[in-house]
Chains A and B, each alone.
Chain A
Amino acid sequence: MSTATTTETQDLAPVSAESLAALLVAGERPPRPSALSASLTFGWRAILKIKHVPEQLFDVTAFPIMMVLMYTYLFGGALAGSPKEYIQFLLPGIMVMSVVMITMYTGVSVNTDIEKGVFDRFRTLPIWRPSVMVGYLLGDALRYTIASVVMLTVGVILGYRPDGGFGGVVAGIALLIVFSFAFSWIWTMFGLLLRTEKSVMGVSMMVMFPLTFLSNIFVDPTTMPGWLQAFVNNSPITHLSSAVRELMAGAWPTDEIAWSLGWAGLFIAIFGPVTMRLYNRK
């Protein structure tokens, strides 16, 4: 590293004092960017990061494929007679589960990113403060979309046929992404709150496993004991997966959509301000 440093430095062209002076004088101060523009710019930053480190798409490609294959063939025969029958029921749910699980990587990337020097610069810019976090989530929304499309493709190959057609599928995925965007604010909070990447992962797992498994994703809750039904039937994940399932099946489940969006609004209302408070104090 140090040897490379010296050789490169010697090759470095000298700084041009005249052009520098001209640039400093010419500096025109444009108006501040709007909240939307700043957020989109940070979203662009997230996409650039994906471009430079495409390996990070592994968790939105290989992981979802694995989830679909694993649960379809593991439970299919026992629960629905055959994997092909089961996937009609499972696919929307497993999409919800995988995408909601992927949201936890938001916390990890916020946690590792926030300590870097570039955040000092972002925080000394006169911009809408939450735009940094919104930018992350916009980049993540792209990841969620990729994961959804990948799973849908695998599902169709395995025999899943959505009765809702193209419109129903798009509506289902859109609802899932809106919910995941809102849900991610929990992880931005933990990403800022906890000290290490490992503890962020640990907490995320503690939340995600019970929340996604204790739902109607794999089985109909009517077979569960009453106390568990009480939890499962009121879980936001159950509402979301019912909504997505029915949308993709061609129905319009107003109640379930309202519940899902209501939960999404609640997540943003609670964890958004907490995240920003932590961010401002960091």
Chain B
Amino acid sequence: MSQHPSAVAIETAGLVKTFGDTRAVDGVDLAVPAGTVYGLLGPNGAGKTTTVRMLATLLRPDGGQAHVFGHDVVREADEVRGRVSLTGQYASVDEDLTGTENLVLLGRLLGHDKRAARERSGQLLDAFGLTEAAGKQVKHYSGGMRRRIDIAASILNTPELLFLDEPTTGLDPRSRNQVWDIVRAVVAQGTTVLLTTQYLDEADQLASRIAVIDHGRVIAEGTKGELKASVGAGSVHLRLRDAQQRPEAAEVLRRTLDVQVQLEPDPVALTARVGGGAANGQGAAEQAARALAELARGGVVVDNFSLGQPSLDEVFLALTGHDTHEPKDEVAA
């Protein structure tokens, strides 16, 4: 399974897909290194799933090119299909069949004889803790179990590239952590994973490189560190005693740090990114200290202060100018 470390799993250039008047994917360029988890991050409707469907040979691109391990997804679709597995946004297994039947069915379709298909299914069900549910129809499975059987189906033949389209959407935190563990185990064995997600912490947890997608375009790409650095080295979070003083505090921060200040939904809270381009050679902590001193001089009472790495939410906000359409209280810094 070992791939050359510099090998490229996915390469796209100007990939376009239109549905009627909508350009769902509008010129996407990607270069996904083999053997890593690559995150496609974006809100609902950003074009993540459409991109994955083109790469998985399910949709024909309307423009541009895409290669998976050097094979064109249109002209050499069969070569691509032999190397990839897809775990779609909705369970990609047959809900009317049992866990075992699903895996044996797919095992047979992948070319295993009956005995080998049965054996491999049994081992996978066992490894995924589904032995007890093996004889039950998948429609009676819980969300977490569905995800497991779905991923198990995807690794019946260890794929070179695994597409995981929003693998944890709708799962409770515990099941989500379990899915993350599975993804880590799969990558550890050399499989490349293309993960789409609208959860920023998920990309943060799993992906080594991330492309941020919005309105069918890649608006930022890089390692997690690069993305965060492009927005600023850190964020200062302030909670004031008096909401009345917030405009004044924002003004002080803007003046001293020369950065954008974000007013939080909480009327006493505000956030400023520090350590960006206009840092005058100062570190984030020094800048924060300077800002605090200015606030104190201006008579603004600060109850609570913290300096942290920018979250990917902040990255997204800075890049797109709008938030990720998530409820604010989930956007924990």
Binds B, one of A119-127, A137-145, A235-243: A119-127
Partner of A30, one of B96, B111, B182, B191: B111
For the complex formed, measure the closest distance between the CB of B50 and the CB atoms of chain A, giving whole angstroms: 13
Contacts of B141 in A (CB 8 A): 8
Partner of A118, one of B94, B157, B174: B94
Partner of A15, one of B82, B91, B181: B181
Query: A45 at interface (Cβ–Cβ under 8 A)?
Result: yes
Query: B168 at interface (Cβ–Cβ under 8 A)?
Result: no
Contacts of A21 in B (CB 8 A): 185, 188-189
Query: B86 at interface (Cβ–Cβ under 8 A)?
Result: yes
Q: Are A16 and B129 touching (Cβ within 8 A)?
A: yes
Interface positions, chain B 148-183, Cβ under 8 Å from A, are 148, 153, 155, 157-158, 172, 174-175, 178, 181-182
When each residue 1-27 of chain A gets 1 if its CB lies under 8 Å from chain B and 0 otherwise, what string results?
000111011101111110111011101
Contacts of B110 in A (CB 8 A): 30, 32-33, 125
Q: Are A17 and B58 touching (Cβ within 8 A)?
A: no
Docked CA distance A23–B127 (Å): 8
Contacts of A6 in B (CB 8 A): 142, 172
Docked CA distance A25–B70 (Å): 23
Q: Are A48 and B129 touching (Cβ within 8 A)?
A: no
Docked CA distance A15–B182 (Å): 7
Contacts of A49 in B (CB 8 A): 96-97
Contacts of A29 in B (CB 8 A): 111, 157
Number of B residues whose C-beta is below 8 Å from A?
Answer: 64
Q: Are A14 and B178 touching (Cβ within 8 A)?
A: yes
For the complex formed, measure the closest distance between the CB of A115 and the CB atoms of chain B, giving whole angstroms: 9
For the complex formed, measure the closest distance between the CB of B97 and the CB atoms of chain A, giving whole angstroms: 6
For the complex formed, measure the closest distance between the CB of B2 and the CB atoms of chain A, giving whole angstroms: 11
Q: Are B93 and A117 touching (Cβ within 8 A)?
A: yes
For the complex formed, measure the closest distance between the CB of A191 and the CB atoms of chain B, giving whole angstroms: 17
Contacts of A257 in B (CB 8 A): none
Q: Are B144 and A27 touching (Cβ within 8 A)?
A: no
Contacts of A23 in B (CB 8 A): 120, 123-124, 127, 155, 158
For the complex formed, measure the closest distance between the CB of B37 and the CB atoms of chain A, giving whole angstroms: 15
Q: Are B188 and A15 touching (Cβ within 8 A)?
A: no
Interface positions, chain B 260-299, Cβ under 8 Å from A, are none
Q: Which residue of B lies closest to A38 (CB)?
A: B109
For the complex formed, measure the closest distance between the CB of A28 and the CB atoms of chain B, giving whole angstroms: 8
Docked CA distance A118–B109 (Å): 13
Q: Say yes or no: A27-B158 contact (C-beta < 8 A), given A21-B189, A41-B109, A124-B56.
A: yes
Q: Are B182 and A20 touching (Cβ within 8 A)?
A: yes
Docked CA distance A122–B53 (Å): 13
Query: A53 at interface (Cβ–Cβ under 8 A)?
Result: yes
Query: A31 at interface (Cβ–Cβ under 8 A)?
Result: yes
Q: Are B123 and A19 touching (Cβ within 8 A)?
A: yes
The 3 closest A-B pairs by CB, nearest first: A13-B129, A27-B158, A30-B111
A-B contact sample (13 more), CB < 8 A, given A9-B142, A20-B127, A121-B93 = A5-B144, A16-B126, A16-B127, A31-B111, A32-B82, A45-B105, A49-B97, A52-B96, A53-B96, A116-B95, A118-B93, A123-B58, A126-B78
Chain A positions within 8 Å of B, measured between CB atoms, are: 4-6, 8-10, 12-17, 19-21, 23-25, 27, 29-33, 37-38, 41-42, 44-45, 48-49, 52-53, 116-118, 120-127, 281
Chain B positions within 8 Å of A, measured between CB atoms, are: 1, 53, 56-58, 60, 78, 81-82, 84-86, 88-97, 101, 105-106, 108-113, 116, 120, 123-124, 126-132, 137, 141-145, 148, 153, 155, 157-158, 172, 174-175, 178, 181-182, 185-186, 188-189, 191
Listed by A's residue number, 24 A-B pairs whose Cβ atoms lie within 8 Å are: A4-B142, A5-B142, A5-B172, A6-B172, A8-B141, A8-B144, A9-B175, A12-B129, A14-B129, A15-B127, A19-B123, A20-B128, A24-B186, A27-B155, A52-B137, A116-B94, A120-B58, A120-B88, A121-B86, A123-B57, A124-B56, A125-B106, A125-B110, A127-B109
